[in-house]
Structure 1
């Protein structure tokens, strides 16, 4: 999974997408935050505080017991907040070639992201007085902040059936003043791997440490993804394929004359680039009426990218899914925000649409699939998706250790939560090693059969 790529290209404090101005917010006046007055804003859920003074922005990670400086950036006159520096010790920003990352548009206590989803913040007079304040290498302090961050924000304790308080009792005695940095990282790893959560990650100095253990079919698709993609292009396509957005979008016509669109990833945050690429694809495939959308190798990125794909086929505004954030106890969440597919400025005229999925369909690839599944004329085939829906909430420990966790809940239009379970296809079709070795693809074959049906 392209977790690091997603973080470096889509960085907010919850990985929900960069700001694309929502229709309902276009006429809002510039916020009253570009003044010299120092303002403090505390989020509802998400566990961060913004300190705004003039055009300078500081961000803090907080729990009821801790306050840790997270990073700094600036706010522009229209309210767009950009983060220029994170205080982590992994040098993740230096490894990217992007000078700043959009957090969203801030207007009078509301922070709006690329979906039009709003985080709500309240004005506070002072930074909270807490037990653990600022940076520290103290092992006990870092353990406490890590545990408390999950205790206050992780969305799925009832789902994963892990008693986090018992985890505390088990591991807290193992940490003392003389615990080494490596020992502490090992302890934290053992704790959060009990959650088996796809978007919980520790960004260590030697690489990323994942909470989730890969299942057999994930490993199968990872090992065979290049061969499978090559088999599709060699055996099913009529002529050469075209590529857009550095290979994120690959498309062409099948030998039967239908359209094949492969979406490798949604990790592009520039909406103008996406719109241009999609417009060119619509023009190139204008004569096609049957569409195959291959999401089997889509490892995530921007949720709004997936909505734009669905918008190519939407005849009217349609509910894609709902999203909410944990705001209190384990079962306390904000009121669900409904996220809609809007018909695109450029569109296909489609009779039939078949979407292909696999255990490598991850994160924004899954929300994109959920959006497509909500449309008429769509059939989803293949295998269930991976089950990473929540955005990644980035946090910083006092020792500047960067980590993430899942703090949101996405539900389908029928109010089903597929976190950890994965989104099931309408028709399950397995591909085997013998198929791949023989240059065959039974999922593609079935898709072609379905596309022959009259609308």
Structure 2
């Protein structure tokens, strides 16, 4: 039985026990149907599994894993993967795009858990007798069928219609009569784009082969780009660092400089793209990040730092787990980063999976545990935002300066429409201990300052950076500033 929103605070607060050794997955009740799988049996994972949330069914047969994207009206074959590793109680599959999926036994329970490398938390699996009937017959690929699957996918997975004041059923009633056998690809693309435009959700996109691409950010914000990143890095080096240069890591996505007054400046423009690995695998990115952090957070430097500025004002996102890896170098004890839930009932937008507590655990070796100032803006997107959220309750204290983040946190649920077009949408929430999410408006700063405006450039200012330097120099306790809960 999925938890309702009103239960989030109790469930997530109780889940804090994981910090002292509990297991978020182990705390979940066993299914009334079936028996725990025999992890010692050959190919114990073989069979058909339905995922809690995500509109996904998958089959495992020997060395092959196949996913199916399902709604109440459709079933389309999704990604597949091949077995790459087997261990007691778990089996790992790797997809053609180097995505790593691990399925493992839940001790004493009837289900299993699937972990996607680079994404925190797990997705619960339950055995089902067979694939849905729609998976066994060809799916119609005409314009009307494509429209219907598009609408139904959002209807069953998107969590934020009510918060954004959107009547999705009224949207269907308005637009569906416009679609028929004579509708062109351009007309269909225009209709689908107009349907989701009022969401102003940077995690919603449509990729229509040969026709167009739709994506947009929140009004008044700028979506990060490599050109913007290069321009602002140069401005920071010239203005904030007095002509000095950032020490560059991870193909320029990470930069560091020592500042006067024993402060440090760490700039992170993304959580991925750190290597020349053509697959951009999580393992390769994680290893490169570890090398960068080892060079930046040395024992000598962490001992002398009186404050650390972390700049994610231009951050295009990536892997949430890489953000947690950085957070683990900024604490000496475990704490809750956030609770992750997934919309879980196609007919009830208020129903979510049980919150999984995502915990920051201190990494071995040198760590910095002093005050941190985090610089944010509307161009702080996705994993840049979950990283910001993961530092909100950091034991050493942190303060946010600048502008509200973009307001998108979920992993992107990638779907294929019957005509072959690709779409993406969010279906998760990242919650504070009180059950609050920041989807839509973003995480607000505790000290609001302009960020890279024309006036700032014209007067050669960087007010957010200057405020961070001043606060850290004064010895103000960041943890004392009011936090949104």
TM-score, with length taken from structure 2: 0.79
1:193 partner SS: helix
User: Which residue does the alignment assign to 1:12?
Assistant: none
Give the Cα–Cα distance (whole angstroms) in 2 for the partners of residues 320 and 158 of structure 1: 26
Report the alpha carbon displacement of residue 273 of structure 1 after superposing the two structures with TM. 2.5
- 2: CA distance, partners of 1:44 / 1:275: 33
Distance 2:183 2:377 in 1: 42
- Is the 1:358–1:385 Cα contact (8 Å) retained in structure 2? yes
Match of 1:35 in 2: 43
Aligned counterparts of 1:219 and 1:149: Cα–Cα separation in 2: 25
Change (3 A) 1:103 1:181: farther
Distance apart, 1:68 and its partner CA: 0.4
Partner residue, 1:89: none
Moved over 4 A (4+): 22-25, 29-34, 219-225
Report the Cα distance in structure 2 between the residues aligned to 1:315 and 1:243, rounded to whole angstroms: 26
Q: Does 1:111 align with 2:114?
A: yes
Shift of 1:155: 0.9
Offset from partner CA, 1:270-320 (integer Å, 9 cap, x none): 223322221121128444231110010111011111111211111211111
Cα 1:442/1:30, change in 2 over 3 Å: farther
Aligned partner of residue 351 in structure 2, secondary structure? coil
For residue 31 of structure 1, report the CA deviation from its aligned partner. 5.2
For residues 414-434 of structure 1, give each alpha carbon's deviation from its aligned partner in whole angstroms, at most 9, with x where no partner exists. Answer: 321110111001110114313
Distance 2:362 2:56 in 1: 34
Q: Which runs of 5+ in 2 are unaligned?
A: 1-20, 25-36, 106-110, 274-281, 478-485
Instruction: Please point out which of 201, 207, 224 is paired with 1:203.
Output: 207
Q: Which 10-residue stretch deviates more, 36-45 or 403-412?
A: 36-45
2: distance between equivalents of 1:69 and 1:145? 14
**1:44 matched residue in structure 2:** 52
- Once residues 427 and 227 of structure 1 are traced to their aligned partners in structure 2, the CA distance between those partners, rounded to angstroms, is 25
* CA deviation string 1:307-362 (max 9, x = no partner): 11211111211111111001111111111111111112234344321110011111
Q: Gaps (5+ residues) in structure 1?
A: 1-21, 85-98
* Distance (Å, rounded) in 2 between the aligned partners of 1:200 and 1:250: 30
Alignment match, 1:83: 95
**Equivalents in 1 of 2:269, 2:223: separation in Å?**
17
Equivalent-residue separation in structure 2 for 1:264 and 1:220 (angstroms): 9
Give the match for residue 3 of structure 1: none
Q: Mean Cα displacement is larger for which, 171-180 or 415-424? A: 171-180
User: Does the CA contact (< 8 Å) of 1:33 and 1:52 recur in 2?
Assistant: no
| Contact map agreement 1:236 1:255 (CA 8 A) in 2 | no
Name 2:294's counterpart in structure 1: 279
Q: Which residue of 1 aligns with 2:370?
A: 351
Find the counterpart in structure 2 of residue 293 from structure 1: 310
Q: Is 2:436 the partner of 1:416?
A: yes
Q: Confirm or deny: 8 A CA contact 2:331 2:369 kept in the other structure.
A: no
Residue 176 (structure 1) aligns with:
180
Equivalenced residues, count: 420
- The Cα shift of 1:112 comes to 2.4
Partner Cα separation in structure 2 for residue 200 and residue 273 of structure 1: 30
CA contact (8 A) 1:74 1:82 kept: yes
Equivalent positions of 1:237-386 (< 5 A) are 237=241, 239-268=244-273, 269-270=282-283, 271-283=286-298, 285-286=301-302, 287-328=304-345, 329-375=348-394, 376-386=396-406
- Mean Cα deviation higher: 357-366 or 306-315: 306-315
User: Quick one: distance in 2 between partners of 1:405 and 1:449?
Assistant: 40
Residue matched to 2:447: 427
Matching residue within 457, 468, 472 for 1:436: 457
CA contact (8 A) 1:381 1:447 kept: yes
Give RMSD over aligned pairs: 3.0
Q: 1:416 to 1:30 in 2, by over 3 A?
A: same
Q: Give the alignment of 1:129-144 within 5 angstroms.
A: 129-130=133-134, 133-144=137-148
Using the size of structure 1 for normalisation, the TM-score is 0.84
8 Å CA contact retained: 1:135, 1:399 = no
| Alpha carbons of structure 1 residues 32 and 125: separation in structure 2 relative to 1, 3 Å | farther
Q: CA deviation at 1:228?
A: 3.2
CA contact (8 A) 2:229 2:269 kept: no
